[in-house]
Amino acid sequence: MSELIRLDIPLILSGVSDVQDDCVGRLIALLEGRDGVESVHVLRPGALPSDPAHAALLGGRVAIDEPQLCLHYDPERLTLGQVASLATLAGIQVGEQFGHVVIDFRMVGSEDDGRRLEAGLRSLRGVTAASVNFASQAARVEYDRHVVRYEEIVARLRSAGAKPTRLGRFQQAWLTRDESDRRLYANLRGQSVAEQHAVSPTANAIESSGLSPEGDGGTKTEPSSGQAPETAVDSEHEHEDSETGSEDASWYQRNRELAWSLTAGAFMLLARIVARPGTPAATALYVVAYFFGARDNVSHLLKDLRRGHFHFNIDLLMVIAAIGAAFLGEWFEGALLLFLFSLGHALEHYALGRARNAIKALGDLAPSRAKVLRNGTESIVAIEEVRVGDRVVVKPAERIAVDGTVFEGRSSVNQAPITGESVPVEKEKGGQVFAGSVNGDGALVIDVTGGVGDRTLDRVIKLVAEASTQKAPTQQFTDRFERIFVPTVLIADLALMVIPPLLGFWPWSVSIYRAMALLVAASPCALALGTPAAVLAGIAQAARKGVLIKGGMHLEVLGTIRVLALDKTGTITKGEPEVTDIVALDGVSESQILEAAGAVERRSQHPLAQAIMRAAATRNISVPDASDVEAVTARGVHGRVGADRVEVGRLLMFEDNGAAVTQTVRDAVARLEAAGRSTMVVRRLADGNVTRNDGRAATAGWLGVIGIADEPRENAAATLKQLRAAGIMRIVMLTGDNRGVGDAVGKAVGVDEVRAGLLPEDKVTAIKELATQGRVAMVGDGVNDAPALAHASVGIAMGGMGTAAALETADVALMGDDLGRLPFVIALSHQARSIIRQNLYVSLGVIALLSVATIAGFARIGPAVIVHEGSTLAVIANALRLLAFKEKSV
């Protein structure tokens, strides 16, 4: 008979908590087929036991906190320790073999260059996946370290004309809490990449285990552990990265492209106004204007030629069109073309930089230094030197640099930069604080629970960076369209240049001129930039307001949602239930009921268990220890208190077990549920250990029923009204609670439908049924509701600030525990979709109108380039309106 073992995936694969990560699949493939291993699969957060073996394995819990690897193995061939070691070593091999990186780069060019860059990365042997967002100037690359080195990826970026840039200190997400990795990090401060899978110094252990990629007899690879990930900025290219973006750089260095464009414009005007047309002086001035207007484009073209690359891109087409205009004697129009094109590029880069800076500004929310209290002495240290367990002093009005809990002091903390909450939150001893928040008027001493690389802010920055590389559906469409459109335009342009003169329709000079004008008119710059700019701005604005949207797809899909499902506990309600009623049976006191129930519930984090513990604490009841405590999924819990078995849970738990539930118990449950209470039945199977109020020993059996109520959030009803105004047609509440409680809460907040008494698997079924009415979003806590979130069109987790699982499992995370963020993000998505459609229509419309006008001879090169560049700037400016989207717009 096989046995099972479960292991947390983030411990096996360092830094990986997303079960969709390709490395999880690689880990499973590596382990399957090993001698003694029968099967391997993943248990997601919120996993449900599919059979008795898994139910026992999970202890009957509703949810697990981290994704876990479940291994079925033969105990006759492998011991438990050997299985755990095998999985760990396999994880080390996968983690060391496959790297995931998000690289910021700087590149002057067009979206076409971004696609070329992406194609170049994908063609590199050993790169398993690559995605480039030219608007955000970021590339996400997954690669096999056994085949390709990181420095080769950087070299490929450079060979395509991209310059990897240094990332902020908080984007060094590969930093782990291990001391050896911290020492490694100290030697790599100049690195420009966020490594998601940390390097682990265990290659020799892998080799001795026989877990090579080729199997037991596979070729051994050189250990990569002792080697630092290569820096993206080496000494040879150090000057390149200091030219732009540096605060110490001169205005010219930061705005070189704009300076060249303005110079070109100045000489063009001089030639037009001062010099007589056709004179050597005018020609000389136009040549100078051509030089500065085309300098940036030509320099990039020459670099490509030196690297052995040649691409027919928009830069080359513009230069050809300008030269053609000069050849035809239209010097002014050629100079105007280059001036406006270069000016448009400079303004585009400035506009897109605003959106990129909005994301990069997240890294500046937390200070670079902290006051650490060690041995009674305060000392200011770099944030990288702060360790988990240190105590940090935060004075009034200072920003908090770490995640932690308040050890001493009391203050109001402004968490708006992280959660979007408009009102400061009071913090006192034991309260949780987050890096990037602003302290109020009181001093705090904080016990550090998360340093650099392990804070909520760092996770958000990493996920936002990844999200900016995920292409929206509209962008995928425009990419496909351009792959067909651009070659078609080139063929049409060649035909326009040759066929009319051959047929005698007009002279060669007219035909060539109109062909040059068509190159300008049909350039899809606006089409290429409109969608990624909107996605970038939308994700950045959402992050500013405490909402993490994990990609352009989710941003767009949110705007199509018509059906919204919400979990009750902790989503619609406050998630702070309180004991309101205790019905004692058989003469047992209320204190004895709370004592028995509290014993088996004391270590549970379930909201109802916490309510019981608070009630016991309020009454100063001493709760004994329990042993053999086991949770029953979505039903209750049981354990041993002394020699007795105590069971606490829903009536359903006892009915499923075939217990003879008395009519007295059923009546008490029905009465409390009719009053809108959640109920917990308490039974103790014992003799002589429970004393009745009259002093006689109680017989083993039913002790009583506890009634618990969880009040709706103050803003729940108003929020649902706002959601309807934002386009949500149907709102459904899903709850595992009884019908009485569900109906009472649903009526109070105004939902359209209540589905009560649901087990977690029933919520999944409900989502599938609702999906037949249209796209459906599910809102929950990101852990207990993970199966339902995964089956919804968009899964939205609340309270992402306090749980890494919510950040990893959901498509959208509301960082604060505030339902009021929901209308904002829905409305933002509607606005983003509207802007994306506007940009798409404007781009295609301008291309169509200009193409017809230039072919027919109604538009010359000058007006064509003005409209072309104007439309590109217009769609970018339209997209950047999302950066100003505010809650009052909801």
Say what the pLDDT of residue 215 is. 36
- The order of strands in the sheet holding 794-798 is 547-549, 812-814, 794-798, 776-780, 563-567, 730-734, 753-755
DSSP character at residue 819: T
- The order of strands in the sheet holding 678-685 is 578-584, 701-709, 678-685, 644-649, 636-641, 627-632
Q: How far apart are CA 286 and CA 754, in angstroms?
A: 74
Distance of CA 512 to the CA centre of its chain: 50
Q: What percent of the chain has pLDDT over 90?
A: 16
Tally of CB atoms within 10 A around 526: 27
Q: What's domain 370-451's architecture?
A: Distorted Sandwich (2.70)
pLDDT tens figures, 395-431: 988 889 899 999 999 898 888 777 766 678 888 898 8
Q: How far apart are CA 858 and CA 477, in angstroms?
A: 31
Report the run of H or E that residue 526 belongs to, with start and end: helix 525-544
| Confidence band of 182 (pLDDT split at 50, 70, 90) | very low
Out of 390, 403, 493, 567, the active site residue is 567
Decide: helix, strand or coil at residue 92: helix
> Do 547-573+713-815 and 578-709 agree at the fold level?
no
Say what the pLDDT of residue 563 is. 93
Q: How far apart are CA 328 and CA 271, in angstroms?
A: 17
Could you tell me the two tokens for 824? Answer: 């904002």
| Confidence band of 720 (pLDDT split at 50, 70, 90) | very high
pLDDT tens figures, 631-688: 887 788 999 988 888 999 989 889 888 888 899 999 999 999 888 888 999 998 864 4
Q: Report domain extents, the chain.
A: 254-358+469-534+832-887, 370-451, 547-573+713-815, 578-709
Give mean pLDDT, residues 733-751. 89
Report the run of H or E that residue 588 belongs to, with start and end: none
Could you tell me the pTM of the whole model? 0.66
* pLDDT reading at 179 higher than 60: no
pLDDT tens figures, 789-832: 878 889 898 876 555 555 666 788 888 778 888 999 999 999 99
Residue at token pair 């781009």: 843
Say what the pLDDT of residue 65 is. 53
- Cβ proximity of 93 and 36 under 8 Å: no
Q: How far apart are CA 767 and CA 830, in angstroms?
A: 22
Nearest to 728 by CA among 769, 765, 785, 774: 774
Say what the pLDDT of residue 297 is. 75
Q: How far apart are CA 421 and CA 415, in angstroms?
A: 6
Q: Does the annotation count 234 as an active-site position?
A: no
Could you tell me the two tokens for 587? Answer: 């003469």
Q: How far apart are CA 549 and CA 538, in angstroms?
A: 9
Residues 6+ apart with CB under 8 A from 179: none
Q: How far apart are CA 385 and CA 608, in angstroms?
A: 40
Say what the pLDDT of residue 807 is. 60
Say what the pLDDT of residue 734 is. 92
Tally of CB atoms within 10 A around 29: 12
**In 491-562, beta strands by DSSP E:** 547-549
Sequence-ordered alpha helix ranges (H) in 98-224: 111-123, 150-159, 179-186, 203-209
* pLDDT reading at 712 higher than 60: yes
Say what the pLDDT of residue 217 is. 35
AA identity, residue 344: G
pLDDT tens figures, 153-177: 888 888 877 888 754 443 443 333 3
Q: CB-side exposure of 172: number of CA atoms within 13 Å?
A: 26
Phi-psi region of 564 (alpha: psi -120 to 50; beta: other; left: phi over 0): beta
AA identity, residue 376: G
Decide: helix, strand or coil at residue 107: coil
The neighbouring-strand residues paired with 566 are: 733, 779
- Cβ proximity of 403 and 435 under 8 Å: yes
Q: How far apart are CA 159 and CA 153, in angstroms?
A: 10
φ/ψ of 708, rounded to 5, equals -130, 140
pLDDT tens figures, 220-272: 333 333 333 333 333 333 333 333 444 556 677 677 888 888 898 899 888 88
Q: How far apart are CA 148 and CA 129, in angstroms?
A: 13
**Torsion sign (Cα): 642, 644, 650, 653:** positive
Q: Which of 122-126, 257-261, 281-285, 347-351 has the lowest mean pLDDT?
A: 347-351
pLDDT tens figures, 563-595: 999 998 888 988 888 999 999 987 889 999 999
Q: Which of 160-174, 517-531, 538-552 has the lowest mean pLDDT?
A: 160-174
Q: Which of 437-441, 448-452, 702-706, 872-876 has the lowest mean pLDDT?
A: 448-452
Residue at token pair 């004309």: 161
Question: What value does the mean pLDDT of the chain take?
Answer: 76
Q: CB-side exposure of 187: number of CA atoms within 13 Å?
A: 9
Cα first-last separation, the chain: 59
Q: How many residues are recorded in the chain?
A: 890
Greater confidence (355 vs 448) lies with 448
Say what the pLDDT of residue 168 is. 41
Give mean pLDDT, residues 188-201. 35
* pLDDT reading at 291 higher than 80: yes
Residues 6+ apart with CB under 8 A from 7: 68, 69, 71, 84, 87, 88
* pLDDT reading at 321 higher than 90: no
Give mean pLDDT, residues 592-615. 89
* pLDDT reading at 186 higher than 80: no
Greater confidence (838 vs 303) lies with 838
Phi-psi region of 441 (alpha: psi -120 to 50; beta: other; left: phi over 0): alpha
CATH superfamily, domain at 547-573+713-815: HAD superfamily/HAD-like (3.40.50.1000)
DSSP character at residue 219: P
User: Which range has highest mean pLDDT (178-187, 296-305, 516-525, 722-731)?
Assistant: 722-731
Distance of CA 865 to the CA centre of its chain: 38
* pLDDT reading at 322 higher than 90: no
Q: How far apart are CA 594 and CA 617, in angstroms?
A: 10
* pLDDT reading at 621 higher than 80: yes
Q: How far apart are CA 564 and CA 777, in angstroms?
A: 5
Say what the pLDDT of residue 372 is. 92
Q: Please, is 356 exposed, middle or buried when counting C-beta atoms within 10 Å of its C-beta (0-12, 13-18, 19+)? A: buried
Look up the CATH number of domain 578-709: 3.40.1110.10
Could you tell me the two tokens for 560? Answer: 């199509």
Could you tell me the two tokens for 99? Answer: 């790297």
